[in-house]
Structure 1
């Protein structure tokens, strides 16, 4: 068990690329955020391995968010953004971490709700629904893509009164809407070609997909949100309590 906890299989030795990965990880601890890594050739000579072995090690470190591409260089990445799983906006969550949130509008349209969306928002199939799609930024870095659906009948002035660069939750509070609870599902996915282009990530990079239906204090659905976050830049936390038996 001790060997397994250290990353060593119960039988056999650590793969060579994994040993190199651990050594590069130690180098990263000494580098500041945004500092370019030594080249693959330099790492290969330092550790006495092939460049292919170094490349595999760096590929895994990138998937884990320890390094990232910057132009033609691979640089040390900063710490992941930590979002608590609470009923709060993306804007509020980033500001708590001293980061600067940002949003860029991609799509703002009115469409007819299909059966699944209608069921989630408790409207009739075909009812008008606003779809708001926005890129998410943290300190000018693209980190996610968010699609929000709301009933057009309930929020008819959304298209004219809401600034999509700002917090939707703050806008809803201004209308007197009190958010009370939500159901949220989290899974890992690969981004579609369109999402890869918008977020500016690699098609091989795992993404965190969150689907949320938020309700007000009367139990009425307010929004259905599909949020896609870069797996190398985000982690989520939750406070758990014991269920009474």
Structure 2
């Protein structure tokens, strides 16, 4: 029999293989109360649909006969997984995660392919002497001028990430005068400067946002983030830019095609 801290969740086989094995339920079938509640809330999210307002913590606690702290823990996990999001109306059902290909394409192109409207807000565009380590990556001399472009990324007016780009001033000397901060940077390089991307090295990892990053993106500091480090080169193989891309883990997933 399940203890006061455990409940039994029915065994279910994932239909498409995308869910965890046995939906995360151990073989003995007993799980903590919050996980039992989370499994019960999941069908409710499907009924409400994207944008549907979830009942209050008090209402959920009464409906499922659990404590409000159990409700909070279940909702925290659903928020971290991207199933729910906070809004002015309360807690609402989130839409599906946006899928970005791990490919040499702009954020603008990736978001538009999914029927979403991309956007960016400029945080800063500054000119600095390039430190030695970055200078080696950009193949310029230490102390030479480098641009630092920082922007918040949007999808349908929702803040979803933070982009930080470093590029030598000699490659784009009029960046502060000719570039529209809410437009595609790669589009600017290609159309205005005649610079086309050749290839790039990328590294993907999970991190927690710093307090500053969380404030800019509008998320709790404890929200997992997907961080991409990119070093790209032009068609001649010459280093072009160094980019740090931070995406909300609850709103993004990444895909790549593998060939044998």
Superposed displacement of residue 217, structure 1: 1.5
Structure 2 gaps of 5+ residues are 1-11, 14-19
Asked whether 1:58 is paired with 2:75, we answer yes
Q: Which residue of 2 aligns with 1:143?
A: 160
Asked whether 1:47 is paired with 2:64, we answer yes
Query: Separation in 2 of the partners of 1:72 and 1:125?
Result: 51
Matches within 5 A, 1:185-224: 185-224=203-242
Q: Which residue of 2 aligns with 1:24?
A: 41
Query: Separation in 2 of the partners of 1:188 and 1:229?
Result: 10
Match of residue 229, structure 1, among 240, 247, 259: 247
4+ aligned runs moved over 2 Å, structure 1: none
What is the count of residue pairs matched by the alignment?
A: 241
Asked whether 1:130 is paired with 2:144, we answer no
Query: Separation in 1 of the partners of 2:97 and 2:63?
Result: 28
Structure 1 gaps of 5+ residues are none
Query: Separation in 2 of the partners of 1:44 and 1:14?
Result: 18
Match of residue 181, structure 1, among 192, 199, 202: 199
Worse-superposed segment, 84-93 or 68-77: 68-77
Superposed displacement of residue 10, structure 1: 3.4
Superposed displacement of residue 12, structure 1: 5.7
Query: Separation in 1 of the partners of 2:29 and 2:190?
Result: 59
Superposed displacement of residue 116, structure 1: 2.1
Taking structure 2 as the reference length, what is the TM-score of the superposition? 0.89
Match of residue 110, structure 1, among 122, 127, 130: 127
Taking structure 1 as the reference length, what is the TM-score of the superposition? 0.94
Match of residue 5, structure 1, among 12, 16, 21: 21
Q: Which residue of 1 aligns with 2:187?
A: 170
**Partner SS, residue 223 of structure 1:** strand
CA RMSD of aligned residues (A): 1.5
Greater RCO, CA 8 A, separation 6+: 1
